[in-house]
Amino acid sequence: MTTEQAEHHTRDQPLSILYRGSLLSCNYDCGYCPFAKAQDSRESLARDAVELQRFVDWVSQQTRPIRILFTPWGEAYIRRYYQQAMAQLGNMPQVRRVAIQTNLSLTTDAIERSYSETLALWCTYHPSQTTAEAFLEKCAFLKGRGIRFSVGMVGNRDELGQIETMRKALPDDVYLWVNANRDEQADYQAQELAMLKQIDPLFEQNLHHYPSLGKTCHTGSEVISVDGSGNVQRCHFIKQSLGNLYDGTFQPTLAPCTNQTCDCHIGYIHLPHLDLKKHYGEGLLERVPETMTPHQHT
C-alpha cells in the first residue's frame, strides 16, 4: 500500500495517541526505576507545560475520534497542568478517552480537577513507597466517583505477599494486573506463577517476548506515539520518525513491525493476531478489560 493509500485509509479512522512529554521527574523512589526521585528544573517543567498545551490545541482542531494515553517517563498526574489539560481534552466531543499511567499519589481534589466522563486511570501500586491503606483510599474514591481504572503491580518476587494482599483488599470488580519482573522471570517458581495467574487471569500474556518482525501491527496507523515536540513514532519502541503532528509532515504507515520481538503491554496489545481486543474491548488503552468477571477469591 502506498503512503497516499495509507493516509486515505487512516484519515477518518479513530486514532489512539500515546503521549510522552519532556517530564522526567517522579515523587517516588522505586529501587528499580531510573526516574526515582528524579527532578525537573522549573524551566523544564515550564517547557513541558507549553508542549502539553500545544498538544491540547492540536487535538482541539481534529475531527476524527481520538483516544489518549499519557505514558510519562516519571509521574505527570501530580502536576496541575496535566490535570487541567486532561479535563480540557476529556470535554472535547471528538475525544473518547483520556487515560494516564500514574502512581495515584495525588490528592482526590487533584483527581477531581482532571475529571471528565472520558477519564480512565492506569494506576500502579508500589508497596515500597506507600501504604496499602492510602492507596486503597484513593481506589475507593475512584470507584465512588465512577472513574474507570485498573490497578497494577510489578511481580517482584519479594512482594508476592503484598500482591496477594492487595488483590484481597480491592473490590472484586477492579482488575489487578501484574507485570512480570523481567529480571526475575526465569526464577519464578511453579507455585509463584500459579499464584500470579490466579490473581491476574491475563498474566500469562505478559510472560512472552512475542515475535513481531514482519507482523502486522496497528501502531503507525491506528495508534501512534507522540513526544513533546509533536514528533511521531509508530510506538515507543521503534525510533523511526513518521514526521511531526504540528507541521503536517506526519505520514501514517501500515508497514509491518521491524523489531524482532515485542514484550511490553502497551506495544503487543496492538498486534492483531494476538486478538487481545477480545479481552479489553473499549478498555484496551487503559488496561481495563471488559470481559473480566468479578474476581473470585480462592
Q: Is 30 in the site for ligand SF4 (CB under 6 A)?
A: yes
Nearest-Å Rg of the Cα atoms of the chain is 19
- Who contacts 86 (Cβ-Cβ below 8 Å, separation ≥6)? 70, 98, 100, 114, 116, 119
Coil/strand/helix, residue 85 = helix
Please, which of residues 245-274 interact with ligand SF4 by CB under 6 A? 257, 259, 262, 267-268, 270-271
Closest approach of ligand SF4 to the CB of residue 234, in Å: 5
Q: What is the DSSP letter of 5?
A: H
Closest approach of ligand SF4 to the CB of residue 211, in Å: 9
Residue span binding ligand SF4 (CB under 6 A) among the ranges 7-15, 28-36, 80-88, 284-292: 28-36
What are φ and ψ of residue 141, in 5° steps? Answer: -65, -45
Closest approach of ligand SF4 to the CB of residue 156, in Å: 11
Q: Is 28 in the site for ligand SF4 (CB under 6 A)?
A: yes
| Nearest partner of 297 among 168, 161, 174, judged by Cα | 168
Q: Which of 219, 242, 287, 295 binds ligand SF4 (CB under 6 A)?
A: 219
Q: If you search the block for the grid coordinates 526464577, which residue do you land on? A: 187
Q: Is 79 in the site for ligand SF4 (CB under 6 A)?
A: no
What are the Cα distances from residue 48, in Å, to 72, 83, 145? 11, 13, 29
Coil/strand/helix, residue 19 = strand
Residues 278/205, Cβ–Cβ less than 8 Å: no
Residues 30/55, Cβ–Cβ less than 8 Å: no
Q: Which of 75, 159, 200, 286 binds ligand SF4 (CB under 6 A)?
A: 75
Give the per-residue contact string, 162-201, with ligand SF4 (x = CB under 6 A; - = no). ----------------------------------------
Q: Is 78 in the site for ligand SF4 (CB under 6 A)?
A: no
Report the residue number, 81 or 210, with the smaller CB distance to ligand SF4: 210
> In the complex, which residues of this chain contact ligand SF4 (CB under 6 A)?
26, 28, 30, 33, 35-36, 74-75, 103, 126, 212, 217, 219, 234-235, 237-238, 257, 259, 262, 267-268, 270-271
